[in-house]
Structure 1
């Protein structure tokens, strides 16, 4: 990514509600709602189950429902290793099956996660292989409130179809505000900015408000 393009991404993330004349782009607004259940299986092993409903435009695959589980285990101080499996079902019956493996390094309020995903799509030429690198900072904002900001880079190591002109990179930035409503229940609201550069020089931009409900056991 060139310095000029990187500057444009940052400008859009800070003023995402304003259309930008600097882009030849496709732009849309989506809504993702998550329900998350998370708990410890033992002192070092954690289980997370999450489901979501994602309202999207028809040209992007229409509405989508997801269900995913992940298990991760403490490998060392500040290091967790895990993996999981997800099912992503779009309107019209298009299905994606997605195993993943990941490692997370945490130091204080900063966490860095590296994830590899194998994505299997109905009718695709082959498995799609995707690399994800996320960096997150979390800040307590009072007794029951906290905020977090993260950035994540995506790269398609192998595309699902044998198309040399397919977009391979994606950048995401997200802000989340979380409120602890009860001892084991948290409510969150966030905004996700997705930037996908296209091989023809245009860009695709998605603005995604998010709602999160997390129950711990």
Structure 2
């Protein structure tokens, strides 16, 4: 585990996804995320509706995430959208999470900017989180493609009054996607999440991801 962790962190640091000053000894855990996504056109070719379901097996409380979203294509490169998710965390606090986003695509590169309003049960106030994701995708074979992604999650307004703005997470993902049929894709990936924590060890999560996507 230590050897794998060291290799993962060094690789991500060299790629510039995780800053070198964020690499410390870290508390580690392992997770499994199983996801299903269904996308269908809502109005001709310009508006798409998506339903996401994600079961997350975690050491600190399993989660079930349900998200609905609508996206409008502004141009060949730009898509704007919004929606909401409900995150049920077993034996802990649930969350309601509306969001708005803009995605820009140029060839193999995709840039997604997302704003999330997070409402937790019993919290002092709404939390505001900003997310910036960069993804590179390229073909590997006739029905197979690979992708690498890096994402910064930044808490601009904490759920707890008096807490400062801070970096919530750094994420990096590697994945393979195979086209199972004209409408269905299967993806297997590895996600590493670094969560900086003041006054204690940072948290490093190793996440195996398996997903199915249907596009109508």
Q: Under a length normalisation based on structure 2, what TM-score does the superposition of the two structures give?
A: 0.86
How big is the shift at 1:69? 1.0
The Cα RMSD (Å) is 2.1
Q: 1: distance between equivalents of 2:64 and 2:106?
A: 33
CA distance in 2, matches of 1:165, 1:115: 20
Matches within 5 A, 1:185-204: 185-200=184-199, 202-204=201-203
Equivalenced residue count is 201
Deviations 1:87-129 (A, max 9, x none): 0001126310000000011111101000000000011110010
1:117-156 aligned at under 5 Å gives the runs: 117-156=116-155
| Equivalent residue, structure 2, for 1:45 | 47
Aligned residue in 2 for 1:24 = 25
Unaligned stretches of 5+ in structure 2?
Answer: 1-6, 14-22
CA distance, structure 1, for counterparts of residue 75 and residue 200 of structure 2: 43
Matches within 5 A, 1:157-172: 157-164=156-163, 168-172=167-171
* Whole-angstrom distance in 2 between the partners of 1:125 and 1:9: 37
SS in 2 for 1:102: strand
TM-fit CA distance, 1:157:
0.4
Q: Which residue of 2 aligns with 1:19?
A: none
What TM-score do the two structures reach when normalised by structure 1? 0.86
| Cα distance in structure 2, aligned partners of 1:47 and 1:122 | 28
Query: Following TM superposition, where does structure 1 have runs of at least 4 consecutive aligned residues deviating by more than 2 angstroms?
Result: 162-169
CA distance in 2, matches of 1:196, 1:153: 10
1:155-176 superposed Cα distances (whole Å, 9 cap, x missing partner): 0001111253786331100011
Unaligned 5+ segments in structure 1 are 1-7, 15-21
1:100–1:165 distance in 2 versus 1, CA, 3 Å: closer
Q: 1:9 Cα shift?
A: 7.8
User: For the Cα contact (< 8 Å) 1:167–1:198, is it kept in 2?
Assistant: no
- Aligned counterparts of 1:207 and 1:162: Cα–Cα separation in 2: 31
Q: Distance in 2 between matches of 1:12 and 1:197?
A: 18
Aligned to 2:4: none
Distance 1:198 1:9, change over 3 A: farther
* Inter-CA distance 160–213: structure 2 relative to 1 (3 Å threshold): same
Q: Which region of structure 1 is more displaced relative to structure 2, 24-33 or 163-172?
A: 163-172
Tell me which residue corresponds to 1:210. 209
